[in-house]
């Protein structure tokens, strides 16, 4: 994801999971790109097994870090070894560092087949106190981060991801596709979606973020229809909440976030919801 860039305020540290897999290596590359733009330091986290020898691990990580040192633009790339459950340890590191972002490559941390997400990555999203960017090793990282999809439904927390999406849009000069999701034919539900879309539009206009808006009728379910739309516009990122509407069609296949993370080949940014008043947006 390469493209420069509107100036954004300095962000806190970027934490990235690493385990020597190609997926986690891509996550490190992406972390460097983002952290350079944010002028944030990077903390690479390796979660080791109980009796695993640290010496070769440290030697290899230091060798790899030295190999990318020339890419760092006024920022630091440090690492730490932790022991325990990978999801829990990554979430704890992000909290200890008061990180702005946690980046996880799908395949390596899961230990499962390439086309499956695996338990650890989704558990990391559930536990992380900060936004998590999930990336697959088969995504084309040579393309620019031009297009970000932000689905908006009638759930109370749906708007909160708009602020994080706007930060990425300003960082990369991206266009946000606001996707209004009509999950019901009920007029009051559709009116809520329209209201939330309007509120986010006003926020983007106030902050100078480029956007366009599309409304769709949900057919399969929220997650799969969002992915279909994102693929149709050749999106480079989808921003979602870790909790979303729980329609019957979604419950059959699992939670909204889990479906998104499992099925999307496009990087997914997940944001944990915060409690807000009904008509208050916290970006």
pLDDT at 281 over 80: no
pTM (2 d.p.) = 0.87
In this prediction, residue 185 carries a pLDDT of 93
Task: Please state the domain count of the chain.
Answer: 2
Residues 216 and 120 in one domain: no
Structural domain includes residue 103: yes
The set of residues, in sequence order, having a beta carbon less than 8 Å from that of 275 and lying 6+ positions away, is none
**What is the Cα–Cα distance from 256 to 250, expressed in whole angstroms?**
6
Structural domain includes residue 227: yes
Largest CA distance in the chain: 63
Considering 135, 170, 194, which residue would you say is the last residue of a domain? 135
CA angle 272, 19, 230 (to 5 degrees): 45
pLDDT at 250 over 50: no
pLDDT at 4 over 80: no
pLDDT at 38 over 50: yes
DSSP tag of 38: H
Structural domain includes residue 100: yes
CA distances from 251 to 10, 58, 212, 248, 258 (A): 39, 43, 30, 5, 11
Residue given tokens 């206009």 in the structure block: 205
Structural domain includes residue 264: yes
Of the listed ranges 48-52, 130-134, 135-139, 160-164, the least confidently predicted one is 135-139
Q: What is the pLDDT of residues 201-226, one digit of tens each?
A: 999 999 999 999 999 999 878 899 99
What percent of the chain has a predicted confidence (pLDDT) above 70? 84
Answer for the pair 87, 124: CB distance below 8 angstroms, yes or no.
Answer: yes
Range of the domain at 167: 147-271
Structural domain includes residue 250: yes
In this prediction, residue 273 carries a pLDDT of 85
Residues 109 and 194 in one domain: no
What CATH number has the domain bearing residue 71? 3.40.50.620
**What is the Cα–Cα distance from 250 to 275, expressed in whole angstroms?**
23
Per-residue confidence band for 119, with pLDDT thresholds at 50, 70 and 90: low
Q: What is the pLDDT of residues 97-115, one digit of tens each?
A: 999 999 998 764 444 334 3
**Which whole number is the average pLDDT over 138-154?**
86
Mean model confidence pLDDT for the chain = 86
CA distances from 35 to 31, 84, 145, 160, 266 (A): 6, 27, 15, 22, 20
Q: Residue 85 corresponds to which tokens in the numbers above?
A: 């459950």
């Amino acid at each position: 994801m390469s493209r420069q860039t509107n100036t954004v305020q300095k962000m806190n540290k970027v934490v990235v999971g690493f385990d020597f897999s190609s997926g986690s290596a891509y996550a490190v590359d992406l972390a460097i790109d983002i952290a350079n733009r944010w002028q944030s330091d990077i903390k690479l986290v390796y979660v080791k097994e109980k009796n695993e020898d640290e010496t070769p691990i440290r030697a290899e990580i230091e060798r790899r870090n030295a190999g990318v040192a020339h890419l760092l633009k006024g920022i630091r790339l440090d690492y730490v070894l932790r022991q325990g459950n990978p999801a829990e340890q990554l979430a704890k590191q992000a909290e200890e560092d008061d990180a702005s972002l946690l980046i996880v490559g799908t395949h390596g941390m899961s230990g499962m087949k390439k086309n499956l997400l695996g338990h650890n990555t989704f558990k990391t999203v559930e536990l992380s106190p900060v936004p998590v960017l999930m990336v697959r090793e088969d995504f084309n990282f040579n393309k620019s981060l031009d297009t970000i999809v932000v689905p908006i439904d009638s759930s109370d927390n749906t708007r909160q991801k708009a602020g994080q999406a706007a930060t990425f849009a300003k960082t990369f000069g991206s266009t946000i596709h606001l996707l209004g999701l009509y999950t019901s034919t009920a007029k009051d539900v559709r009116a809520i979606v329209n209201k939330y879309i309007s509120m986010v539009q006003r926020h983007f206009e106030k902050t100078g973020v480029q956007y366009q808006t599309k409304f769709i009728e949900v057919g399969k379910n929220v997650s799969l229809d969002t992915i279909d739309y994102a693929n149709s516009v050749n999106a480079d990122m989808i921003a979602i909440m870790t909790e979303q509407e729980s329609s019957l069609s979604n419950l059959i296949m699992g939670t909204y976030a889990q479906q998104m993370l499992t099925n999307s080949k496009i990087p997914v940014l997940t944001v944990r919801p915060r409690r807000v008043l009904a008509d208050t947006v916290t970006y």
